[in-house]
Chain A
Amino acid sequence: MNSIEKGINVLKEKIKLGQELEHKDFVMALTATLIEEVDADLKTGKSNEDKHE
């Protein structure tokens, strides 16, 4: 498991427990979202960044 996966798991746990998130948690969440976007782009072969999509 790489550091991003570990970070995301910690983040998920914190959200589940309703704990206050810190700056580094939100940075991890943003990184995870960007990874999701890249994955979706690769899968569909197009940009998936539209506001209504």
Chain B
Amino acid sequence: MKTNMNKNFVIIQMARTGDLIQTLSAANAFKANHPDINLSLVARERYAAPIKSILEKTFSRVFTLSKKSIFNSSTTEEIVNKVDDFLTVLNCQSFDVALNLSFCKTSFYITTLINTPHKLGNYYSSKHELVTKDLFTQYLSSFVVNSSINSFNINDIWLALMGGRRAQLPERKVETKEGNFKEILLHPFASQERKHWKTGKWVEVIYLTLKNNQDTRITICGSKEDQPQVHQIINDPILKLFKNRLSSVAGILTISELHEKMDRYNIFVGHDSMVSHLASLKNIPTVTFPVGSVRPHETAPLGVNTIVATPKTSCFPCYVSDSCQDFDCHKDISHQLASELITIQLRNKKVDMNEIITKHGHYHAASANIYIGKQNPDGLYQLVPTQETISTKTIMRDLYQILWTYKFFESSPRVSNPIVSQSALNELSTIKSNLHNLFELSEFAKKYCTYILQEINSESPNITNINDLSAKIDEIDRLSNMIKKASPELGPLVSFYEIQKANTSGTTIVEITENTYLVYHDISVSCSVLDELLDKIINTSNKNKNIHQGR
């Protein structure tokens, strides 16, 4: 019998370098739980090559798919042969488990083509149907892809998918010897324009930070392509006074070299980019400003007491497919607030909103949400708000967190009952009413499943009756789908169960119907749980409102 001693897992991650670094972080945590399991990685050459030496510290083998080499072929046969050769090399390894962490067709096909008895994540069946069997990938498909209501860090979901639990994250405080400068590593860039501020705003942040922290130096990092913008920042006239405390390694250090030298920096400042995750690997305290399509709850760099400030603009976070010219979310966080948060991290101070408001006024504090990264008692990484930021979306995110923490980890996190505004109460009532509809539809579907089973078990089953009942279940699914439009906050929940239904196991009509019944039963249970939680919030808010009116 095989033991952990000779188990080989292969992780497929075909997304960008930042995603690879986050995968590495989850893999490190998994290795801490299961040091005897060999981990291999399949990635794209262009994203893995810059960090290969870092990846190879954790992964025993790193297989890279190079489109450049594949398409540098003289004939079409050669292209197909090169793709096949890549898979042949992979299949020489005898993997026990393949885990696909990415959501693109390339990764689905590669996972399909790896010969292994166990597969997790998305892949295709032999009839080219997308298979999403495991609970975590079903969650990722519905709550992470195409939704912004997910409350878990993607790292924790990936780790749970691997079968690991994160140990306590180490706390690292900013310590410098007397007389030495405090060093800030600044990465003011990101992969897309919408994900980073313009250089002018960073100039103001740098100015204020260096002015208020005379014992501090800033080093800007980035790629060769970023050099013109770095030049613009460093040579801005308002920073002339601070030239001796401002330098750049952009385009000079490779990513691996930067990683090697990162220990010399006390804090990292930037957007939610690949470098922020690199800093998190080194346990460097971070201050990040996610903007555009970045989902902070999902991708904030891991670390104890990390500071994350996000815009309050209602369209944040947007979708990559949304067109945007104005970048309103870039304006929400003022350079005064950004610089204040950097100073707080640099001085190991706690974020105190009252102090920030006293110092800078409501105007600067009111347009941003400020979070502190913490691990909850279940070891899950979460962004804890520093002030009450109550919107329907945040309430639903909290409620989903309770629901999914119980489903995934059989644990119940404590979430306080917020007092919500009248407009939020009205929205929550609509959601509650649609939850009732979803519950009732599921109960009807359960009845039809039972009727189908009764028909099959009768002495002479009538196929027409079975088809009629099945059509009624289809109708219920169509009506459930309409709830997505009526209450978009319930959309991910409906999508999750659609995926579960599409992946119902069973080879006979009896097995499939029984398992479908269980999915509908689970919908009813989820609706009941959410309904009860919503009840508590609505009642507490109403009670509070009555007390205020009675005074």
A residues neighboring B (CB under 8 Å) = 2-4, 7, 15, 18-21, 23-24, 26-31, 33-34, 36-38, 47, 49-53
Contacts and interface: CB of A to CB of B under 8 A. Distances in A.
A51 B80 contact: no
Given A21-B127, A37-B67, A30 B79 contact: no
B408 interface: no
B77 interface: yes
Contacts of B124: 21, 26
Given A19-B127, A26-B113, A38-B71, A49 B16 contact: yes
B67 A51 contact: no
A36 to B, nearest CB: 8
Given A26-B124, A33-B109, A34-B106, A49 B145 contact: no
A28 to B, nearest CB: 7
B350 interface: no
Contact of B145 (A21, A23, A51): A51
Nearest to B146: A52
A11 B550 CA distance: 72
Contact of A27 (B46, B113, B320, B321): B113
A47 B126 CA distance: 30
B80 A27 contact: yes
A28 B87 CA distance: 12
Given A3-B76, A34-B83, A53-B320, 10 more contacts: A3-B80, A4-B79, A15-B127, A19-B127, A23-B113, A24-B84, A30-B110, A34-B106, A38-B67, A51-B103
Nearest to A20: B126
Contacts of A2: 76
A27 B83 contact: yes
Interface string B93-116: 000000000111110011011000
Nearest to A28: B80
Contact of A26 (B76, B102, B112): B112
A4 B106 contact: no
A38 B76 CA distance: 15
B48 to A, nearest CB: 12
A27 B145 contact: no
B44 A49 contact: yes
Contacts of B321: 53
Contact of B126 (A21, A27, A34, A49): A21
B14 interface: yes
Nearest to B113: A26
B106 A33 contact: yes
A27 B103 contact: no
Given A27-B87, A28-B80, A30-B113, A52 B105 contact: no
A34 B219 CA distance: 39
Contacts of A53: 320-321
Nearest to B83: A31
A52 B320 CA distance: 7
A49 B109 contact: no
Given A3-B77, A27-B80, A52-B145, A33 B320 contact: no
A2 B74 CA distance: 13
Give 8 closest A-B pairs by Cβ, nearest first: A30-B109, A2-B76, A33-B105, A51-B15, A4-B76, A20-B126, A51-B103, A15-B128
B451 interface: no
Contacts of B319: 52
B106 A51 contact: no
A29 to B, nearest CB: 6
12 contacts: A3-B77, A15-B128, A23-B113, A24-B84, A26-B113, A27-B80, A29-B109, A30-B109, A37-B67, A49-B15, A51-B19, A51-B145
Nearest to A41: B67
A23 to B, nearest CB: 7
Nearest to B105: A33
B293 interface: yes
Contact of A18 (B77, B113, B127, B320): B127
Given A20-B126, A21-B126, A50-B320, A37 B79 contact: no
A43 to B, nearest CB: 15
Contact of B83 (A21, A30, A38): A30
